[in-house]
């Protein structure tokens, strides 16, 4: 499948994946994240069951302290 | 670059309301910048008091140490541009009160210190105030490296900062970089509101 991840096209060798699988595959190890699939918020508790499929627009925003 | 006279700019901004979540390094500097260009109304919320250690970056004065930040900020804005209406909430923002406090704002500037709070605000706005624009700050610590500071956009969320340098003992948040990011947030507010 092909998805848009943070405004960039990415190919994955499978038909669907959970948010958790995406984070694992991309080696995103940050914990302070805001994740959206097609503009819809995915809460942390749902990372293991939220499904990403072909054509989805996924944002993984990493936020850090300081201000 | 869109061209407008300062008079035209002030006329448009005078009718607009900006919410600023947090009145510390990012919030106080962003609020003052927006007050100087004539934003109509600023709604700001913070529970903290001005401390000596804030003065290396926050828009407060030594004689304001001990004051609640939102009231000190309101006082300072009144001295700069008394036409700006400042609604100051001395509260800890949470998912319950954010929609009430910022419900009437054209857009919201996220100006917290802690990443946990930044995420809480983004999640609350995405969930309870869909479509509302949030301008966040992330990555302000340290000094130097001007060109690493940028803006990224994701739908209704904009993030200003270097996205990399987190505050710690050896990487304090300081006036120049915090001021740059606060200025970028204010600049983006203008760009969005003025079209």
Domain boundaries, chain B: 6-194
**Does residue A36 lie in a domain region?**
yes
CATH number at residue A11: 3.10.20.30
Q: Show Cβ contacts of residue B108 under 8 Å, excluding neighbours closer than 6 positions.
A: B18, B19, B20, B21, B102, B121, B125, B132, B133, B134, B135
Mean pLDDT for A11-34 is 93
- Give yes or no for B173 touching A (CB within 8 A): yes
- Residues B4-13: contacts with CB under 8 Å, at least 24 apart: B4/B194, B6/B37, B9/B37, B9/B38, B9/B190, B9/B194, B10/B37, B10/B38, B12/B193, B12/B194, B13/B37, B13/B38, B13/B39, B13/B40, B13/B190, B13/B193, B13/B194
Cβ atoms B6, B35 nearer than 8 A: no
Mean pLDDT for A49-61 is 97
**pLDDT of amino acid A30:** 82
Cβ atoms A51, A17 nearer than 8 A: yes
**pLDDT of amino acid A55:** 97
**Does residue A20 lie in a domain region?**
yes
Dig out the tokens for A29 from the structure: 């190890």
**pLDDT of amino acid B175:** 98
Q: What's the complex ipTM?
A: 0.92
Per-residue pLDDT of chain B (195 residues), as tens digits, is 889 999 999 999 999 999 999 999 999 999 999 999 999 999 999 999 999 999 999 999 999 999 999 999 999 999 999 999 999 999 999 999 999 999 999 999 999 999 999 999 999 999 999 999 999 999 999 999 999 999 999 999 999 999 999 999 999 999 999 999 999 999 999 999 999
pLDDT in tens, B31-67: 999 999 999 999 999 999 999 999 999 999 999 999 9
**Does residue A57 lie in a domain region?**
yes
> Could you tell me where the DSSP H helices lie in chain B?
6-13, 25-36, 69-80, 98-102, 115-128, 175-194
Query: May I ask the CATH class of domain B6-194?
Result: alpha beta
**pLDDT of amino acid B21:** 98
Dig out the tokens for B114 from the structure: 């802690």
Look at residue B152 and give its three-state secondary structure: strand
Domain that holds residue A25: 2-62
**Does residue A51 lie in a domain region?**
yes
Q: Among B30, B121, B123, B153, which would you mutate to test the A interface (most chain A Cβ atoms within 10 Å of its Cβ)?
A: B123
**pLDDT of amino acid B137:** 98
Identify the residue whose tokens are 């991840």.
A5
**Does residue A67 lie in a domain region?**
no
Q: Is the pLDDT of residue A31 over 90?
A: no
Q: Find the CB nearest A63 among B22, B119, B155.
A: B119
Q: Find the CB nearest A41 among B123, B166, B167.
A: B123
Q: Among B54, B113, B139, B151, which would you mutate to test the A interface (most chain A Cβ atoms within 10 Å of its Cβ)?
A: B139
**pLDDT of amino acid B170:** 96
Instruction: Name the domain count of chain A.
Output: 1
């Amino acid at each position: 499948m092909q998805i848009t991840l943070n405004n960039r096209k990415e190919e994955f060798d499978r038909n669907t994946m959970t948010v958790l699988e995406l984070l694992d595959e991309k080696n995103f190890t940050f914990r302070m994240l805001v994740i959206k699939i097609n503009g819809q918020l995915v809460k942390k508790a749902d990372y293991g069951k939220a499904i990403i499929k072909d054509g989805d627009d996924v944002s993984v925003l990493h936020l850090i302290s300081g201000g | 670059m869109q061209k407008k006279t300062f008079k035209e700019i002030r006329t448009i901004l005078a009718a607009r309301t900006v919410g600023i979540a947090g009145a510390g390094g990012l919030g106080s500097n962003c609020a003052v910048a927006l007050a100087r260009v004539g934003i109509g109304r600023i709604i700001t919320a913070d529970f903290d008091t001005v401390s000596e250690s804030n003065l290396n970056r926050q828009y407060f004065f030594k004689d304001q140490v001990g004051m609640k930040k939102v009231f000190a900020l309101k006082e300072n804005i009144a001295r700069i541009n008394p036409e700006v209406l400042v609604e100051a909430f001395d509260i800890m923002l949470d998912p319950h009160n954010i929609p009430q406090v910022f419900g009437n704002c054209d857009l919201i500037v996220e100006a917290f210190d802690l990443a946990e709070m930044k995420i809480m605000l983004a999640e609350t706005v995405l969930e309870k105030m869909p479509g509302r624009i949030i301008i966040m700050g992330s990555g302000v610590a340290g000094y130097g490296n001007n060109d690493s500071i940028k803006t990224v956009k994701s739908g209704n969320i904009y993030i200003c900062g270097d996205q990399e340098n987190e505050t710690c003992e050896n990487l304090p948040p300081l006036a120049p970089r915090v001021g740059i990011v606060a200025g970028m947030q204010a600049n983006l507010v203008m760009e969005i509101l003025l079209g």
